[in-house]
Structure 1
Amino acid sequence: MRYQASCHCGRNVFEFDGELKEALACNCSMCQRRGSLLAFVPRTALHLKTPEEASKVYTFHKHAIRHHFCPECGIHLYGEARHPKTGEAMAAVNIRCVEGLDLHTVPVREFDGRSLP
């Protein structure tokens, strides 16, 4: 299925392909503050409808994940990184940005990112 998503102000628009079987709620220092719910898809399944330059990137800790956010409204859009086991390029999409999605229909799995080294 293809999902449509955007930030609050509409400056950043994207689509992604996949099935939303679950979302991840992480408690690391970043995710706890921003409150996003993440669904993981291959980076090739993420399709930007606005130029990547419309977003800004933030990295922290090991600087392995590129966190994209809107510089206008501040909404976290998605993160990009390589899968630690396979090396595949992945995207962690904030499903709170998906248009018309009833979040209560997506099971949420808690992840203890705070305890990672």
Structure 2
Amino acid sequence: MNYKGSCHCGGIAFEVEGELAGALACNCSICSRKGSLLWFVPHDKLRLLTPEKDISTYVFNKHVIQHRFCPTCGIHPFGEGVDPKGNKIAAINIRCLENLDLASVAVTHFDGRAL
């Protein structure tokens, strides 16, 4: 299935393809503050509709995840990184997807603070 998403102001727009079977709620220091619900997909399933230069990036700790956000409205629609097998992935904040009933998505809680 194809989904469209964006930040609040529309400055970052994207499409993502895949089957949304569930999302992850992480309690690490940044995820708990952002309140993201994350859906991990292969990076090639994410298609930016916004020029890369218009997207800001935040990294911390081990600098392995690029937390992408809008410099205008501050919303974090996705992150980018590498999975344990070395594959490029995107972590889509499903709260930024259009026409999605969040109550219909199973959420798994992840203890990111323990990492």
- TM-score norm. by structure 2 comes to 0.98
Asked if 1:111 is matched to 2:110, the reply is: yes
After TM superposition, which residue ranges in structure 1, 4 or more long, deviate above 3 angstroms?
Answer: none
Q: 2: CA distance between counterparts of 1:52 and 1:109?
A: 30
Report the aligned-residue RMSD.
0.5
Alignment size in residue pairs:
115
- TM-score norm. by structure 1 comes to 0.97
Q: 2: CA distance between counterparts of 1:8 and 1:54?
A: 14
The answer for unaligned runs of 5 or more in structure 1 is none
Show CA shifts across 1:62-92 (max 9, x none): 00000000010000011111111x1010000
State the one-letter code of the partner of 1:91.
A
Sequence identity of aligned pairs in percent?
58
Q: 2: CA distance between counterparts of 1:74 and 1:39?
A: 20
- Alignment-derived partner of residue 98 in structure 1: 97
The SS at the match of 2:21 is coil
Matches within 5 A, 1:10-89: 10-84=10-84, 86-89=85-88
The answer for unaligned runs of 5 or more in structure 2 is none
